[in-house]
Amino acid sequence: MSTVDEVAAGAVARPATVKVWDPVVRVFHWALVAAFVTSWATGDEVRSIHLASGYIIMGLVAVRVVWGFVGTRPARFASFVHRPSTVLAYLRDTLRLRARRHIGHNPAGGAMILALLSGLAVVCATGFMMTTDAYWGVEWVEDLHGAAANLLIILAGLHLAGVAAASFEHRENLVKAMITGRKRP
């Protein structure tokens, strides 16, 4: 029976897509990508741009943390933060190509968000510290800043691999979903 026949017979048709990612989440995500790439690309070479993009990242992280408590349901930490055992079980199922599809963030994606936000907080804190008289030129602060930035590059690569794997396994374009805010139900 076709969808038209189901509607005519009194059945309710499912929408082609549903809203998942609100504008705050989507703007945060893509602005963070742009600001982080800018910070990474400028490094010590163009200090003013590096500092400006760092402050933008700091503001974005603050907004996202607040939004994680007061935002729309899919954006809230409570909807996607899981126990480590749940994350590991999800990753095991992913390797077997039998992971359950999630409308919002899956358990591995939720863990990645926490890892990325934590890493960004360390980079921002150490970056800010390096602008103060108390910590300017302090080697451990500079080393931690660089190490955390390098760890974020690795995490970003894992994030992209996870997006590709989930897109493949569930036959959906997660990049498009983060642009439009919509996914199939």
Cα-based distances in Å from 85 to 88, 90, 91, 92, 108? 5, 9, 10, 10, 11
More confident residue, 11 or 51: 51
CB 28 within 8 A of CB 61: no
- Please report, as a single letter, which amino acid is at residue 160: L
Model confidence at 10, pLDDT cuts 50, 70, 90, reads low
3-state helix, strand, coil in the chain (%, to 5): 70, 0, 25
Mean pLDDT of all residues in 48-75: 97
- For residue 107, is pLDDT > 60? yes
CB 124 within 8 A of CB 54: yes
Residue-wise pLDDT for 85-100, tens only, equals: 999 999 999 999 999 9
What's the pTM value of the predicted model, to 2 decimals? Answer: 0.88
Q: Tokens 């945060």 map to which residue?
A: 28
Query: In 1-138, which residue ranges form alpha helices assigned H by DSSP?
Result: 3-8, 23-42, 47-70, 77-80, 84-95, 107-129
Q: How confident is the model at residue 44, as a pLDDT?
A: 75
CATH no. of 19-183: 1.20.950.20
- For residue 140, is pLDDT > 60? yes
Q: Which residues of 141-177 are buried (b: 16+ CB within 10 A; e: fewer)?
A: bbebbeebbebbeebbeebeebbebbeeebeeebeeb
- For residue 4, is pLDDT > 60? no
Q: What values do phi and psi take at 23, rounded to 5?
A: -60, -35
State how far the Cα of 91 lies from the Cα of 85, in Å rounded to an integer.
10
Model confidence at 135, pLDDT cuts 50, 70, 90, reads very high
Q: How many CB atoms within 10 Å of residue 121?
A: 16
Model confidence at 23, pLDDT cuts 50, 70, 90, reads very high
